[in-house]
Amino acid sequence: MAKFFDDIQFILSWVNKPLFNINGHPVTFGGICAGILIFLATLIVSAIVQRAVGIHLKRNPRLSHSVIYAMRRIIHYAFIVLGFLLAAQCVGLDLGTLAVAFGFLGVGIGFGLQNITANFVSGLILLIERPIGIGDFVDINGKVAEVLNINMRSTTVRTFDNVTIIVPNSTFIENDVINWSIEDPRIRIHCPVGVAYGSDTAKVKEILLNVARGNTDVLETPTPEVRFLEFGDSSLNFDLLVWTAKPENQKILRSNINFAIDQAFRDNDIRIPFPQRDVHIQMTPAMEVLSGRLPRTKDSTAN
């Protein structure tokens, strides 16, 4: 039994033996292990609390999925900060030492971590202000994608081609981003088309409206609309305006409407012209002689 207590004493002395000092405070192996365990325990508690809060908030039908996600992420970040502070206390770092460490960290941020800090702060702004949310469809550099996750540094989106893109959070704060899903998801789609000169414009309008009414993705209210835009160089230009509540399918809807317009115009003998140009060639006397339109003279023969 005495040997057992001696072994325990030896282990404790080894665990509590100072490895190095930080600002006069000894750091031991046991303190480091305790700090790691406390930080991991904080993460576990964070996951449990997030799950409980999520279940509770889902009972409120007025809260969207993006709001619940934002609340869970904010709770997670708060527990990370709390876990870091508790772990630092176990290691042996007091608040004064942490202030010095954060001071050095601030210098590092000033020299080389601006982008990381900007993206982290932007992520907090996205979670608090919620200009975008999970499940929203956004337009980034001409690509429509669905928001999958909003993380500390970046946001994960997925395009309709099933391509996953990692976008820095600062992109959504500093640049213009179209959110097709925020508030009212209804959008208006333009379907321009040109017909040949001499076409019955009233009939063209009727055909375009019938095409719009025949598509199930087109809303009845607001009603479809046809506008006569201009007398173009080669065609009479119209614009079919339709509304849809599925912004993610806007390209498919426009394609289906174009197919239907083409078929309807064929059935009603309405022609879609191609660009035409009339070229007038000014003939010089020498060219007219060569073409035989003028008789040859002595002067022209000499030339």
Query: Is residue 273 included in any domain, yes or no?
Result: no
- pLDDT tens per residue, range 227-276: 999 999 889 999 999 999 988 888 899 999 999 999 999 999 999 987 76
One domain, residues 90 and 36: yes
Query: Is residue 172 included in any domain, yes or no?
Result: yes
- pLDDT tens per residue, range 33-71: 888 888 899 999 999 998 898 888 888 777 767 678 778
One domain, residues 199 and 137: no
Q: What is the CATH number of the domain that holds 43?
A: 1.10.287.1260
One domain, residues 103 and 195: no
One domain, residues 107 and 14: yes
One domain, residues 140 and 164: yes
Query: Is residue 283 included in any domain, yes or no?
Result: no
Q: pLDDT grade, residue 302 (50/70/90)?
A: very low
pLDDT higher than threshold 90 for residue 214: yes
One domain, residues 24 and 107: yes
One domain, residues 94 and 142: no
* Contact assessment for residue 125 and residue 173, using Cβ atoms and an 8 Å cutoff: yes
CA 130, CA 182: separation in Å to the nearest integer? Answer: 10
Into how many domains does the chain fold? Answer: 3
* Sign of the dihedral through C-alpha 240, 246, 252, 257: negative
Total residues found in the chain within this entry? 303
Query: Is residue 121 included in any domain, yes or no?
Result: no
pLDDT higher than threshold 70 for residue 159: yes
* Contact assessment for residue 139 and residue 62, using Cβ atoms and an 8 Å cutoff: no
- pLDDT tens per residue, range 194-210: 999 999 999 999 999 99
Query: Is residue 82 included in any domain, yes or no?
Result: yes
One domain, residues 34 and 98: yes
Q: Which of 142, 163, 179 is the last residue of a domain?
A: 179
Q: What is the CATH number of the domain that holds 153?
A: 2.30.30.60
Q: Of 87-101, 128-142, 160-174, 175-189, which one has max mean pLDDT?
A: 160-174
One domain, residues 32 and 75: yes
CA 242, CA 254: separation in Å to the nearest integer? Answer: 9
Q: What is the CATH number of the domain that holds 248?
A: 3.30.70.100
Query: Is residue 117 included in any domain, yes or no?
Result: no
Query: Is residue 81 included in any domain, yes or no?
Result: yes
SS3 call for 219:
coil
One domain, residues 161 and 198: no
CA 281, CA 297: separation in Å to the nearest integer? Answer: 23
One domain, residues 191 and 152: no
Q: By residue range, what is the domain housing residue 246?
A: 187-267
Query: Is residue 125 included in any domain, yes or no?
Result: no
